[in-house]
Structures are given as C-alpha cells and as structure tokens.
Amino acid sequence: MPIIYSIVFFLLAAAGTLRKHIHIGLSTGVIKTLPVLFLVLCAFTHTRKRFGFWVVLGVGLGAMGDYGLAQPGRIWDGIGVLAFLLGHVAYSVAFCKDLKWTAGRGIVIGLTLLFMVAVLAAYCIKNTLVGQGEVVIPVMIYVTVMAVMMTLAVLHQSPTWLIAAGAVFFVISDAHLAVNHTILNKSNMWLTYSSHFTYYFGQYLLVAGAAYETRHYHPKA
C-alpha cells in the first residue's frame, strides 16, 4: 500500500482515537468511522486482483460497525455488532484459501484462543452475576466467529505476516473493550485508547497485508 495512504490512515486513526478531544465540526461517530472508511478505498484500489470483494466487504462492514456503535440506542448497538460479525465472516472467506499448518502458527493460534477463552469466561461470569445473562450466548457466537477468522488468517499462507498480525490485533482490541466496559467496575482511560489503537491497527494490517499479497501473488502454472 502506498506510503501516502498509510500516512493519511494513521492521521485519521489518531483523530479517531482522540475524537472526544477534537472539535472540527464533525460528530464523534463520523470521526470514529473515517479511518476504516478510508481503508475501504485502500482495499478497493489495491486488493482486487487477489482477494476480490471480500476484503473490501470485511473492512466496509467494520466501518458500518464503527458508525453503529457510535450512535445512541440498543438498536444501533445491535446493528454495529452484527456488522462486525459479518465483517469477520467476510475476512474468513477472503483468507480461507492457501492454508498451511506450522508449529509456530499453531502456537500463535493456541495462545490467542486461550486468551480469548479467558476473557470470554470473565465476561460471561461478570454479566451473569449482574443479571445480564441474556447477552452470554450472542457474545459466545460472536467470539466463535472471530476465533474462526483469526485462525484462518494465521493459517493463511502469505508472503507477509501482516494478515496474521492484523487478526490477532483485532482480537486484542475486542478483549480490551470487554475488559474495560464489562469486567472492570470502572472504565480505564488508557484501556479506551489502547482498544481504539489496536482496532485501527488491526484493520490496517489486514488491508495492508492483503495489498502486499496482491502485489506479490503469482499463481502456480
């Protein structure tokens, strides 16, 4: 991906991370959405040869999820979470080809899954104790879909590690959100910033990895 695209993205990501402190005439929801919306353009212009429309769809649904979660109301929350879930499905389709198992990849997958299970268990216990057990099953479904996406992204045989790293950062970001907004009794400002950063960085790595692979992909004769 061209360096100028990366610079623009990280400037937008910085604004999205610090959006509550920025006053430029745009709503915080729009500022939050702009970095990933820009990645839609990057994916469309730099990944079509190898991944078709699936990476574009995955990052586009991420932008939709960003906007939905930034709006007030449970309906918008549901739309946002559903968009992210479908985005994980789209990424899974994009990266489900050319899978290869290695010991190193197995370790990355195993450690990430253990991390996900630990955070999920704490999340479910906390919600059950406070009388919100109805969210447990939907969250378990979401985490399962994300785990499949992460596993396929890590197993995907690629000339770059960016795709695998992007999937892992995506997991870390959602874990930060779960810890910060549910498991902890009081949200932590630094966890809030780190969840934004790891999310934007994860999306960037997925798109940058797909763009890199597009340039270096040579189908077998």
Q: Could you tell me the pLDDT band of residue 218, with boundaries at 50, 70 and 90?
A: low
Instruction: Give the pLDDT confidence of 25-71 residue by residue, as tens digits.
Output: 677 788 899 999 999 999 999 988 777 789 999 999 999 999 999 88
**Dist. CA 139–CA 137, nearest whole Å:** 5
CB 35 within 8 A of CB 207: no
* Sign of the Cα pseudo-torsion (137, 163, 40, 96, in order): negative
Percent over 90 (pLDDT), the chain: 67
Beta bridge partners of 156: 99
Q: What is the mean pLDDT of residues 204-216?
A: 93
Percent over 70 (pLDDT), the chain: 96
- How buried is 137 (Cβ within 10 angstroms: 0-12 exposed, 13-18 middle, 19+ buried)? exposed
Instruction: Say which residues have a Cβ less than 8 Å from residue 98's Cβ, sequence separation at least 6.
Output: 156, 157, 158
Residue bearing tokens 């785990």: 147
CB 26 within 8 A of CB 52: no
CB 212 within 8 A of CB 42: no
Task: State the DSSP code for 22.
Answer: -
Please tell me the predicted confidence (pLDDT) of residue 19: 78
pTM, two decimals, is 0.92
**Dist. CA 19–CA 32, nearest whole Å:** 7
Q: What is the mean pLDDT of residues 198-209?
A: 96
Please tell me the predicted confidence (pLDDT) of residue 216: 83
Please tell me the predicted confidence (pLDDT) of residue 25: 63
Instruction: Say which residues have a Cβ less than 8 Å from residue 99's Cβ, sequence separation at least 6.
Output: 152, 155, 156, 157
Instruction: Give the pLDDT confidence of 7-19 residue by residue, as tens digits.
Output: 999 999 999 888 7
Task: Characterise 116 by phi-psi region: left (phi > 0), alpha (psi -120 to 50), beta (else).
Answer: alpha
Please tell me the predicted confidence (pLDDT) of residue 188: 85
Please tell me the predicted confidence (pLDDT) of residue 221: 33
Instruction: Give the pLDDT confidence of 95-143 residue by residue, as tens digits.
Output: 998 899 999 999 999 999 999 999 999 999 998 988 887 888 999 999 9
Query: Which residue stretches of 26-156 are H helix?
Result: 28-46, 48-51, 53-70, 74-95, 103-129, 136-155
Angle between helix 53-70 and helix 74-95 axes, rounded to 10 deg:
160
Instruction: Give the pLDDT confidence of 147-194 residue by residue, as tens digits.
Output: 999 999 999 999 999 999 999 999 999 999 989 888 888 888 888 899
The mean pLDDT of the chain is 91
**Dist. CA 113–CA 151, nearest whole Å:** 9
